Amino acid sequence: MIELQRIFDEINSISIYVFLFCVTLSLFRKNISDLLNLYDRPDTIRKLHKNTTSTFNGFLIISLVLTYPLLDFFFFKEFNLNFNITLSIITLSFYLIGLYDDKKNLSPTYKTFLIFLLLLMIMPLNQNFIIKTLDFKNLFNFPIILNQASIFVTIFFIYIFYNLLNFADGKNGVALIVAIIFIVILAVEKNKVTNLDFLILTTLLICMYLNLKNLSFLGNSGSAALSVFISLNYIFEYNSQSTLKCDEIFLIFLIPGMDMTRLVMERIFKGKSISLGDLNHLHHHIGSICSDKYIFIIYGIVTLIPYITSFLIDSYLVLILGNILFYLGVLIFFKKKLFFK
């Protein structure tokens, strides 16, 4: 209890007021959505939802990200100006690309080109956002020096995580619980909750409530902004504090990453577009045998298992292989349940 108090000691009272402001803002979500036309309309084959839905959640997230640099400059003093500006610019850019995608249905090729070009232009503004060396806890006994490949490897990892979170976004609460888990794990590993952590987590809880009530969802805009926000925070922590090594981060992201990899491979083998939406995701299989209101809980528990087992087993090779088998076992279990239903 004392340790928990120490972790939260640095939370500024200003953060509480900002949280209350976000709650108030959410009460006017319809007015804001109408004013800014923050709606995702299911007018393409790629979109599986049937009703026009507000994407206010994404707006709430980007509003916080853009407000934080001012709060940090005047009150918190947690990060330098370069960190805040670079994080805000990249997150806003991803949000705008996703927002345009929500409205105009960008082609996957054009969207990928925009993302890579954007990151290639902005990432060099802060070297702490560029992975220069791949260090491992115990998977390998030597670091991998990236040299000139640093920027491209970093962009590739961010793009992979962008797709990972996007693939998890299909049932209410799933992408949000995954994001919350990743942020909480990072805070636990660095043994500190910053005001930024507190504000993004409380904002995501507001988004979770709205999402579970079918009042708003992330949309491509919110998912894109959230994915790059989490990616950059993990990379920054990895570079500045070495809190987590590559094999540890890989294990944390393993379950959603495995589901994304499986879906991409299946679509390629079947000659389908890898961006074409379907009902073959893990969260869809879970939802086929239980109520929609419990899907995010089960998905969250499954996502947490690799991280939890890391406290029980020292070898990361055994952990990774064991949890890959665990994911396949979970998938087979739900598919069989669906088949015999």
- Would the pLDDT of 328 be above 70? yes
The pLDDT assigned to 104 comes to 85
Separation between Cα atoms, residue 35 and residue 55, nearest integer Å: 12
pTM above 0.85, yes or no: yes
Q: What is the pLDDT of residues 113-152, one digit of tens each?
A: 999 999 999 999 899 999 999 999 888 888 999 999 999 9
What average pLDDT does the structure give for the chain?
Answer: 89
Measure Cα distances from 31 to 26, 39, 215, 300, 302 in Å: 10, 12, 13, 32, 37
- CB atoms inside a 10 Å sphere around CB 327: 23
User: Does residue 5 surpass a pLDDT of 70?
Assistant: no
Q: Shortest CA distance to 337 belongs to which of 282, 256, 265? A: 282
Q: What is d(CA 251, CA 307) in angstroms, rounded to the nearest whole number?
A: 7
Q: How far apart are the two ends of the chain, measured CA to CA in Å?
A: 46
Give the pLDDT mean for 58-74.
Answer: 96
Q: Is 53 helix (H, G, I), strand (E, B) or coil?
A: strand
Is it the case that residue 212 has pLDDT exceeding 90?
Answer: yes
Confidence at 50, pLDDT banded by 50, 70, 90? low
- Name the residue among 166, 270, 275 with its Cα closest to residue 225: 166
Four-CA torsion 27, 29, 30, 35, nearest 10 degrees: 130
Given a cut of 80, whether residue 335 has pLDDT beyond it is no
CA distances from 310 to 81, 305, 318, 322 (A): 35, 9, 10, 11
Would you state the pLDDT for residue 8? 56
Q: pLDDT digit string (tens) for 305-321?
A: 999 999 999 888 999 99
Please report the pLDDT score of residue 45 as a whole number.
47
Q: Residue 340 has what pLDDT?
A: 42
Cα torsion at 327, 328, 331, 334 (round to 10°)?
Answer: -100
